[in-house]
């Protein structure tokens, strides 16, 4: 995480407090930042947004898995997007990048398949 990201998180946390959100003693399962309870009752992580409060270890694993898969999907989609942008900008198609593309699509396909189970 770069210092700009950290500053952004600190800013978001202080914005939350200013808007009347309460910092909880629970932390986000993904980034370990403190969670905030909004006036609406919704619990959110300053980085990951709405978070479900879990009652059991099984449920925690479930939520963590779902979140990790969603993050992975996001990372892969971003990489694919960057690759396609690079191809569009260049006149010559770099075929060596296609192998990475196939790996990324493979990851995406696996993530989708896991999510369905
Ligand atoms: Zn988080």
pLDDT in tens, 23-37: 999 998 888 999 999
| Residue 15 token pair | 């914005």
Residue 93 Cα, ligand 1 centroid: separation in angstroms?
38
Residue 91 pLDDT > 70 = no
Residue 40 Cα, ligand 1 centroid: separation in angstroms?
19
Backbone φ, ψ for residue 22 (5° rounding)? -105, 130
Residue 39 Cα, ligand 1 centroid: separation in angstroms?
19
Nearest to 48 by CA among 29, 75, 23: 29
| Residue 36 token pair | 């905030």
Query: How does pLDDT run across 56-79, given as a tens digit for each residue?
Result: 888 888 888 888 899 999 999 999
Helices (H), the chain: 3-18, 57-89, 96-116
Residue 1 pLDDT > 80 = no
Residue 77 Cα, ligand 1 centroid: separation in angstroms?
20
Residue 101 Cα, ligand 1 centroid: separation in angstroms?
28
- CB atoms < 10 A from the CB of 30, how many? 16
pTM: 0.54
Residue 93 pLDDT > 70 = no
Q: Which residue has the higher pLDDT, 90 or 58?
A: 58
């Amino acid at each position: 995480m770069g210092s700009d990201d950290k500053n952004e998180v600190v800013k978001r946390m202080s914005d939350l407090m200013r808007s009347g959100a309460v910092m909880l003693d629970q932390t986000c399962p993904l980034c370990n930042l403190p969670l905030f309870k909004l006036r609406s009752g919704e619990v959110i992580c300053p980085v990951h947004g709405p978070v479900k409060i879990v009652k059991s270890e099984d449920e925690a694993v479930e939520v963590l898995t779902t979140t990790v898969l969603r993050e992975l999907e996001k990372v892969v989609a971003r990489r694919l997007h960057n690759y396609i942008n690079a191809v569009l900008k260049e006149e010559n198609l770099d075929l060596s990048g296609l192998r990475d593309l196939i790996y990324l699509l493979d990851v995406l396909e696996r993530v989708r398949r896991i999510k369905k189970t």
